[in-house]
Structure 1
């Protein structure tokens, strides 16, 4: 029997991702969907009906977060709205005394995200997490464990590719898609998961040199191709590539290379792992590395929720906290700034606000 009462969850934004988080909560003994929040009654009705089919009790329904907070009965919110609204809604929930979970990215605006991060620092008793579930993939955990043990030696380089495809119909399906203010481009929206893993493995970049382009889509403001070189404090270099113009969609690939070993993650699976401590250079180290991991939920979203709930109950920081989300955002913003201004951009300068208010644009355009 669970010794703790379930946390009362409000799902803010009842689109595809909001529905996913509501379903995960319905299957968890640690969470109870107490409220659904969306200005669209059709959206909240669809999610409520889905929860009913899963056997969950009916949640309260609200059209806005302010009303839901006034109604009470909420311990934690998960924000699944348009990316450009994340920080403002997160701050409102934080100031109401709630724990906060925000879908990636933390926001599209660095100043708004910084304000949220600083507010969170003043409330150490409240947990604020950013969804980046792939840190909980067995493949990523195996690589991070090896990095912590320095089994790859000195890290020399990395390659992070998000080679996805999105049709013109995808962007035309909603007016906010492909906008700077509410969505962001291929890197901000699709590639940020791979970037987050790269940063989890290698740390904070010193600077970024980048180009972006819009080559395969019309009627969008943002890039559908981004390519960057990231330089790290220890001298390691990484290439970062994110696109929504790679037909028929080749998925994600992340390579880590060092003086004593290398690893490759492809489509979320560990496909190559070799270090000097292997008995046989041709041996299957992948199977061994995965077998030695501690067990946990098989679903990475479920695993992240387990970590978040545990962090709340133990009073600790979750694996993907607001600082991690802020670093990913400032790195994306550095890529966009480099492409716009035509020069190398220091990530710390972005974080400190040097470029707040600077407009960004794509390079080559259709």
Structure 2
């Protein structure tokens, strides 16, 4: 599913072209290439030897990201890896180290950062519009059926999914909130598996304390039928902004400033169905990779950036297991 989103995004970006596709299933590789273009491969070494291939987009289960990303980097290919960067910090660090060793670029997908209203919010925060930050709350109250988890043997497993609602669905906004507000100092959390037959959580609740003194509530779930648009609420001494599915719903400040549209209609959300997420966000990030290679700079979201939300999520899981506050390094 996510590989098709990448292919659609690549097709829409000037300067990008899909030249090869790899799958262990020959029929799937051939079908994908027939739909989106490129040469189909079933052998990783042959795939990486393709001289037309510059960037490898890793769209396999999360726990296999390093398995494919490390050899791609060591073969001299730039790498774009889906979220989360990996399911453990050790595996993430191996992927980061391989890209450094090979001198290639490593980008981690977090397409929510590129949404226009999220970019406006980032600028407002950087410009000091909010004043002292007080709170930052994130709610990802999504819905996934049991059939969703049963559709692939890796879904809902610690080994390859890394976790549940927080690691798979919530990771985007864990990344966004720490990028907007700043580093997380500590977490206190509980998790539950309440509505699905899976080994990982379908509900996670956490209290975040940020290094700048702000606090936040984080809720991620896949049990809220029928699935509610994700919501981000940030309050400072001067006012409040609320994003719902990436669109402003509230923008209120004590002093007059820039006006923003707060009735822009529904945003892009996978709250009800993962297939509802558009490829536009991926297109923004693929365009950034094209610019990265042309300009000789780092991608907007590096491997080190992608490690940060993983560290926060791992701390939340540790807090839930040990029933105590966990301080991040």
Does the CA-based 8 Å contact 1:159-1:256 persist in structure 2? yes
Alignment RMSD (CA, Å)? 1.8
Aligned twin of 2:260 = 286
Helix, strand or coil at the partner of 1:340: helix
Distance 2:247 2:13 in 1: 25
Report 1:1-366 matches (<5 A): 16-51=1-36, 58-123=37-102, 125-183=103-161, 184-218=163-197, 220-278=198-256, 285-287=259-261, 299-348=280-329
How many angstroms apart in 2 are the aligned matches of 1:203 and 1:63?
42
C-alpha separation between the residues in 2 aligned to 1:162 and 1:177? 18
Structure 1 regions of 5+ residues with no counterpart?
1-15, 52-57, 291-297, 349-366
Instruction: Confirm or deny: 8 A CA contact 2:12 2:283 kept in the other structure.
Output: no
User: Deviations 1:71-107 (Å, cap 9, x if unpaired)?
Assistant: 4331110000011011231111111111110011101
Q: Structure 1's 223 and 64: CA in aligned 2 closer, same or farther, altered over 3 A?
A: farther
TM-score (norm 1): 0.82
Q: Summarize the Cα distance change of 1:157–1:64 in structure 2 as closer, same or farther, 3 Å threshold.
A: farther
Q: What is the DSSP-based 3-state SS (H/G/I as helix, E as strand, rest coil) of the residue aligned with 1:286?
A: coil
Contact 2:5 2:282 in 1 (8 A): no
Structure-2 separation of matches of 1:27 and 1:140: 22
- Following superposition, the deviation at residue 204 of structure 1 comes to 1.6
The C-alpha deviation readout for 1:18-75, integer Å capped at 9, x for no partner, is 1121122223331121110011223223322222xxxxxx421111422311343311
User: Separation in 1 of the partners of 2:245 and 2:12?
Assistant: 26
Greater relative contact order (Cα < 8 A, sep 6+): 2
Equivalent-residue separation in structure 2 for 1:45 and 1:68 (angstroms): 13
Conserved 8 A contact 1:161-1:254:
yes
| CA distance, structure 2, for counterparts of residue 344 and residue 22 of structure 1 | 42
Answer whether contact 2:241 2:250 (CA < 8 A) is retained.
yes
For residue 275 of structure 1, report the CA deviation from its aligned partner.
Answer: 2.4
Query: Is residue 274–residue 285 contact of structure 1 (8 Å, CA) maintained in 2?
Result: no
Give 1:122 shift.
4.0
Residue 268 of structure 2 is matched in structure 1 by none
